[in-house]
């Protein structure tokens, strides 16, 4: 949920379920216990500071942050910096990585080696792009949110030149389609959303 909608959502939760007792735990999760037994767990977005009460949670969630984004699959990478909800830096790049082949025997092994080499070269190019766009921004970033294909992202961030960014990687991993500009723009919203899990009482 967009942070700006959180206050109204909390208000409506109380209207639907009765009086609400709110608490923020040591992990920064806001828990709402309603009179009818319903439970809502609100998880803050990556980079948002831990708070001690509901008002501080809402205020911190709505505060604009500067975050880095890295979305990657074998043949594509999207890198960006978002300030609040706006992309202020971005770059999309694609590389050729051969698709799998149905050929068997020696040909299959040869194509597999070629595909792996192409994937490694693409990861190296992506690391160069991240180095150029995100590493200079690292001191100003609250977090780095990643998404796409985990193995590809991990391969890129394994580059020792990116160690300053690897330390900023958030737990939140975005499931996204092939990285394109529209996908990167949508990722800005997903990266900064408050995730809410509602559990209704057993009747």
pLDDT number for residue 125: 83
Q: Which residues contact 144 (CB under 8 A, 6 or more apart)?
A: 67, 68, 69, 70, 134, 165, 168, 169, 170
Region 74-83 average pLDDT: 92
pLDDT number for residue 110: 56
178-183 — which CB contacts under 8 Å span 24+ positions? 178/73, 178/75, 178/76, 179/71, 179/72, 179/73, 179/76, 179/77, 179/78, 179/92, 179/148, 180/76, 180/78, 180/92, 181/78, 181/90, 181/92, 183/71, 183/78
Give the pLDDT confidence of 100-113 residue by residue, as tens digits: 544 444 455 555 55
Give the pLDDT confidence of 39-71 residue by residue, as tens digits: 999 999 999 998 889 999 999 999 999 999 999
Domains, the chain, ordered by start: 3-63 (no CATH), 66-191 (3.30.420.60)
Question: Confidence class of residue 85 from pLDDT cuts 50, 70 and 90?
Answer: confident
Q: Is the predicted pLDDT of residue 196 greater than 80, yes or no?
A: yes
pTM of the model: 0.84
Closest by CA position to 150, among listed 79, 69, 73: 73
- Calpha distance 118→29 (Å, rounded): 42
Q: Which residues contact 201 (CB under 8 A, 6 or more apart)?
A: 36, 37, 38
């Amino acid at each position: 949920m967009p942070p700006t909608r959180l206050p109204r959502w909390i208000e409506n939760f109380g209207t639907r379920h009765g009086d609400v007792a709110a608490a923020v735990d040591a992990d920064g999760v806001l828990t709402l216990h309603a009179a009818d037994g319903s439970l809502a767990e609100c998880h803050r977005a990556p980079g948002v500071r831990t708070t001690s009460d509901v008002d501080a949670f809402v205020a911190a969630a709505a505060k604009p942050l500067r975050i880095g984004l890295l979305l990657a699959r074998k043949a594509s990478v999207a890198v960006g910096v978002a300030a609040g909800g706006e992309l202020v830096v971005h770059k999309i790049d694609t590389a050729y990585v051969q698709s799998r082949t149905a050929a068997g025997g020696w040909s299959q092994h040869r194509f597999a080696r070629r595909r792996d080499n192409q994937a490694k070269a693409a990861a190296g190019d992506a690391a160069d792009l991240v180095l150029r766009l995100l590493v200079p921004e690292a001191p100003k970033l609250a977090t780095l949110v990643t998404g796409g294909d985990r193995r590809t992202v991990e391969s890129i961030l394994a580059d020792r030149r990116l160690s300053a960014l690897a330390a900023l990687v958030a737990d939140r991993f975005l499931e996204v389609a092939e990285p394109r500009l529209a996908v990167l723009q949508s990722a800005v919203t997903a990266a900064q959303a408050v995730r809410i899990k509602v559990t209704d009482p057993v009747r």
